[in-house]
């Protein structure tokens, strides 16, 4: 989903300043901090990318990875065949 944003220009005698403001929803979703340094990359004339120089750790992805590893192994015991009494040398059940 895109967020339309206007490009702003402040014209001064000796210079120009261009501004693009982040919608609050994007800044909050990205968990930006005040004063954080970012880098603009021009992909082509229709795509401008913003890259963080220092990426904060991903809390959710680590939790999901650990959870999926546990989930993958939790059914392991159910998939193993139960040992038969013949293979263990134990008594056969009586009828």
88 located within any domain: no
22 located within any domain: yes
51 located within any domain: yes
92 located within any domain: no
Question: Which CATH number characterizes residue 32's domain?
Answer: 2.10.260
Residue range of the domain that includes 14: 1-76
Residue 37 CA to residue 46 CA, distance in Å, equals 23
pLDDT at res. 15? 95
Q: Are 83 and 77 in contact (CB under 8 A)?
A: no
87 located within any domain: no
Predicted model pTM: 0.51
For residues 62-90, average pLDDT: 58
**Assigned token pair, 47:** 């795509």
Angstrom CA distances, 35 to 3, 9, 43, 76, stand at 22, 21, 24, 49
8 located within any domain: yes
| Structure-model confidence comparison of residues 25 and 81, the more confident one | 25
Q: How many domains does the chain have?
A: 1
State the SS3 of 11-63: ECCCCEEEEECCCHHHHHHHCCCCCCCEEEEEEECCEEEEEECCCCCCHHHHH
């Amino acid at each position: 989903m895109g967020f339309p944003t206007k490009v702003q220009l402040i014209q001064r005698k000796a210079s120009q300043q261009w501004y693009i403001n982040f919608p609050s929803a994007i800044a909050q979703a990205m968990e930006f901090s005040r004063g954080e340094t970012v880098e603009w990359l021009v992909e082509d004339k229709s795509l401008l990318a913003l890259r963080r120089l220092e990426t904060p750790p991903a809390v959710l992805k680590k939790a999901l990875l650990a959870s999926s590893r546990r989930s993958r192994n939790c059914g392991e015991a159910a998939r193993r065949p139960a040992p038969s009494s013949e293979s263990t040398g134990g008594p056969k059940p009586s009828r």
